[in-house]
Amino acid sequence: MLAELMYGRSYAALEADAPMAALNLDSRNVTFESEYYMATDDAKFQRVKPLLWLWKSVDLTPLGHNPLFGIPLRRILAGYIFKSVGRDFKCWQNVEFSVGYNMEVGDDVVIHRNVLLDDIGGIELHDGASVSDYVNIYSHTHSVLDGPDVTLRKTVIGRGARLTYHSTILAGSVVSDDAILATHALLRGDIEPHGIAMGLPAKTTRLKIREAGPVEGIDSRTFAPEPARKANPQFPEPTPNQTKRVEEAEEVLLSPRMGFVAGKR
């Protein structure tokens, strides 16, 4: 399919005329970053790898940038790659997944351009969730003490939640139903239902005016997250304390001869 879409000829004809171009279309000749991860389930990933390569490659073509072709194709591929996907899924071009098979997507979900979905630890996008351009959603963390000490935490985005431009959601965060994460915000916790969170780190500073009533879907105040999992079993569980508070803060002092030098209060 890639040979026909990108070069207008069969794979066999392309292999005979331009073997290097042909070899680059075959996912068996390509290595994904996630294949270096200890947490990647190789059997699951090898099953979806050709479809992910088709997705990524088509996105670089004019057809991939044409919504009338690209969006329906991605919707079909998602049904074979994701753990689950609902109706009317809409995904624009240049969206990256870590493994793809840990994505759980509800109905009427929209993902815009250049989004990173690090689903190695699992990502849930519930009905009507909207992910704007250049959003990053993570589901793993690294220990400060040891980089290879990786913890997997599922990240959950509730119904009708909106993650706006260039925002970042760290692993294990829960964005409740009808909540908003503001542009350029960094979320390392939860947002309550109808909340609007902004800042670095993001805090809920406003609430939408809604009728009072219980939330039947995702409510971070009562949500029971899945237990975190260690990707590398050689590291202890749970992760030990990684930093300590500096009792005597240092400040920068000005030396007339040497310029700025480190000093203490």
Q: Where are the domains of the chain?
A: 84-234
- Most confident by average pLDDT, 107-111, 216-220, 261-265: 107-111
pLDDT of 258 above 50: no
pLDDT of 112 above 70: yes
- Identify the helix (H) or strand (E) that includes residue 187: strand 186-187
Residue 259: per-residue pLDDT: 44
CA dist., res. 168 & res. 157, Å (int):
12
Residue 256: per-residue pLDDT: 47
Mean pLDDT of 71-88: 98
pLDDT single digits (tens) 132-147: 999 999 999 998 888 8
- pTM summary value: 0.88
- Which CATH entry fits the domain spanning 84-234: 3.40.50.300, 2.160.10.10, 3.30.2350.10, 1.20.1080.10? 2.160.10.10
Residue 251: per-residue pLDDT: 52
DSSP 106-165: -TT-EE-TT-EE-GGG-EEE-TT-EE-TT-EE--EEE-SS-TT-EEE--EEE-TT-EE-T
pLDDT band at 213 (very low <50, low <70, confident <90, very high): low
Mean pLDDT of 214-236: 85
Residue 214: per-residue pLDDT: 65
Contact 192, 177 (CB under 8 A): no
Instruction: Identify any residues that bridge with 167 across adjacent strands, giving them in sequence order.
Output: none
Contact 151, 143 (CB under 8 A): yes
